Structure 1
Amino acid sequence: MISLNTFMQLPRDEKIKCLYLEGEFIVSIRYYKHKVNLYLLSNSYVEVFYNPKTDRIDKIIPLDFKEKRMKFYTDQISLPRVS
């Protein structure tokens, strides 16, 4: 199991591969121009911001529970705090 700190130091392609192989997809939301996929990886939530217009992943970041995006997630599912 990879730690969040180690995961965040990986190159983008390795992060994507790691999420695909070891992560658990939780839910997808629309947020401005992005489709944001939420994954659970080693007891941490990770957001993947995909821009359908450019067909690329713009960023991969740990979920910040203080973000306004949380409302979009909690409208769909109940997220237990992990870590």
Structure 2
Amino acid sequence: MSREDFKKLTLQSKIQKLYLDGTFVVAIRYYTHKVNLYLLGNDYVEVFYNHKQDRIDKIDFLNREHTRMKFYLDQIHINVEC
């Protein structure tokens, strides 16, 4: 599945795709969210879970230029040049 096709999926379909085909990598805390990082094919996908409201606010591909990367790089090795 291409990135464009994944982005077009509903939130529920994205969750199902990650559950069936993704591999959980690591979880971090980021402000009001618990962010779960998944590997889906060759792409990393972040799931932003708002524990206070008990809901997923966003599912999107990892932005490797975001300052949040420092939290992941402390725990795992991600090639930031991709």
Partner of 2:77: 78
Aligned CA distance change for structure 1 residues 25 and 76 (closer, same or farther; 3 Å): same
Q: TM-score normalised to the size of structure 2?
A: 0.93
The superposition leaves residues 52-76 of structure 1 with CA deviations (integer Å, 9 ceiling, x where unpaired) of 0000000011101100000000001
Gaps of 5+ in 2: none
Equivalent residues of 1:43, 1:82 under 8 A apart = no
* Partner of residue 53, structure 1: 52
What is the CA–CA distance in structure 2 between the aligned matches of 1:69 and 1:14, rounded to whole Å? 25
- 1:42 and 1:3 map into 2 onto residues whose CA distance is 10
Aligned residue pairs total 82
Q: Which runs of 5+ in 1 are unaligned?
A: none
Residues 25 and 50 of structure 1: CA distance in aligned 2, closer, same or farther (over 3 Å): same
Q: 2: CA distance between counterparts of 1:49 and 1:79?
A: 19
C-alpha distance in structure 2 between counterparts of 1:8 and 1:66, whole Å:
19
Task: Say what the alpha-carbon RMSD is for the aligned residues.
Answer: 1.4
Report the TM-score when normalising by structure 1: 0.92
